[in-house]
Every structure is written in structure tokens, then in C-alpha cells.
Amino acid sequence: MIPVTEIYGRKAATGINWITFIAMTAFHIGAVAAFWYIDFGAIMAAVILWWVAGSLGIGMAYHRLLTHRGYKTPKWMEYFLTTCATLALEGGPIFWVATHRIHHQYSDQDGDPHTPKEGALWAHIGWILMGKGMHHDTEVLKRYAPDLCKDPFHVFMSKWHWVPQVVVGLGLLYFGGIAYVLWGTFFRTTFLLHATWLVNSATHIWGSRRFQTKDDSRNSWWVALLSFGEGWHNNHHAHPVSARHGLAWYEFDMNWIAISAMKAVGLAWDVKVAKVRQQLEEEAA
């Protein structure tokens, strides 16, 4: 068994992942082209899909539910939220969860797929374009996401994660034409990708540190706004299982608000929340 520390990181990169590079280039070109097709309906579709993919999907499903099991929900809801996450173009659930669990185990150390200690650009997008973290082998997936590897739905969605994106794109084309595709698929996806990547890069470089964790994680209010609350990253690394990342009243956390709403109507339970009253009281003093 090859140690993870020898698999990931900038030194382990072997060259450009051309399929990923071409896809990322195409989406960025499409995002820029959207500004030549200004349409209020198309922009609203992009905003709605940004929330569906980024909040319901990446934040609530891939991250707080599947990776850290910060709360429980009915299987049908878990599968629905997972499907929303595939619209972010960030890979299938097994890949995403395994990558993030590796990140927590080796955060800002050898073996972290996207630490800024190997360069801010590497942490933001370099690891996507050149890193081996985009190509986990079966052994690594089974080691870091054994729970998902046993679930037929997550196995299926990991293989066919691109299908919902295509279906939504065709729906946008049919409903509103090219403007809806450029805004609702290309611009929305590109914007969300960078918002997610900022959690990997910016929140390990800039921001405040409430907790003295063993990594360089930081809290960033502006990244939190762009990522529905994922930018309270130091809070998260100190209490990774907590379904609430914005721990103070002024730390806006849209994903936590949505999870709380689900709990209120019986769609979420066993919700884990960090108990940090002492730290917050010391800050207020």
C-alpha cells in the first residue's frame, strides 16, 4: 500500500490533465461569453442553480452530510442533495468525499492534495489541472470513502456525475436558448468552482483564527458569502463534524440555516453542533 503522502501534492504532479484542462477552458470561455447575452431570466436561472448546486449540493450534501456526517436525513433526501451537488462539476460523491477526507487528515502537510504551502495558485486550481488528487485509484477510494463505496446510488452517481449537468443544460437550451445555457451552465458553474476553490486556497492564507488548529485554516467572511458559509474554515477545521460552521451570531452561514429548517420540519436529525461558548464569550469580553 503506497502512503498517501507519496501520492498527492505538487511534487507528485506529472503533467497537465488534458481532459480537465480542456473542460475548464471551455467553461471559462462560456462564462465570459455570457456577458454578450445579458438576459434577466437567464441571470435569475444562474442564481437559482448556483444555490442548488453550491448550497444544497456541495455545502450541505457533499461536505457536511456525506464527508463529515454532521447530520442525518432520509435516504431519498440524501440522494436528492447529492444529485444537486453533481451540478457543480466537481466530480462524483465518492471522489469528492475521499479528496476532502484526505485533506483533513493531512491538512497543510505532505499528502494534502491542495495546500497553499505548495503555492496559492496550486491550491486554487493547479491541483485540479496537474495534481494526482483528481485521479484516485480504487484502493484510495475504498480506504477513504468505504461508506459511499457500499451504496449503489453513490457508486452510480460517481460514474455518471456529468449526466445531471447535461440534462439541466439541455433543459435551459430548450426553455431559454443560448443565453440561458451561457448563464445557467457556463457562468454559474465557473463562478461556483472558483468559490469552492477559494475555500481550498484563500481560507488557508487570509483571515482570522479563532482556534489554534494544526493547519493554517482561517475564517473568511467574504469567502463564506460566496460559498454559503463554507468560508468559516478555521471553525470547521477545529470542529469538522459540526454541521454549523458560522459559530457566532454574526457569522452568516446559509447552509446551516437550511439544515436548521430541515430539522424543524423533521427532514434532518442527529444534527451535530460545536459547543464553543467559552471562546465566543472571550471574544465578546
**Can you spell out the DSSP letters for 16-27?**
--HHHHHHHHHH
Contacts of 18 (CB under 8 A, 6+ apart): none
Question: Residue 18, class by beta-carbon neighbours within 10 Å (0-12 exposed, 13-18 middle, 19+ buried)?
Answer: exposed
Q: 210 near 283, Cβ under 8 Å?
A: yes
How far, in Å, CA of 191 to CA of 69, rounded? 27
Report helix, strand or coil for 258. helix
- What is the SS3 assignment for 179? helix
Work out the number of other CB atoms within 10 angstroms of the CB of residue 10.
17
What stretch of H or E contains 148?
Answer: helix 146-149
So what's the pLDDT on residue 130?
85
pLDDT confidence of residue 13: 66
pLDDT of residue 1: 44
The model's pTM is 0.93
Distance CA 51, CA 184 (A): 11
pLDDT in tens, the chain (285 residues): 455 555 666 666 667 889 999 999 999 999 999 999 999 999 999 999 999 999 999 999 999 999 999 999 999 999 999 999 999 999 999 999 999 999 999 999 988 999 999 999 999 999 998 877 667 778 888 999 999 999 999 999 999 999 999 999 999 999 999 999 999 999 999 999 999 999 999 999 999 999 999 999 999 999 999 999 999 999 999 999 999 999 999 999 999 999 999 999 999 999 999 987 657 756 755
Say what the pLDDT of residue 53 is.
Answer: 98
265 CB-contact burial (10 Å; exposed 0-12 / middle 13-18 / buried 19+): exposed
3-class state of residue 269 by DSSP? strand
- Specify whether the backbone of 9 is left (phi greater than 0), alpha (psi in -120 to 50) or beta: left
Kindly report the number of other CB atoms within 10 A of residue 169's CB atom: 17
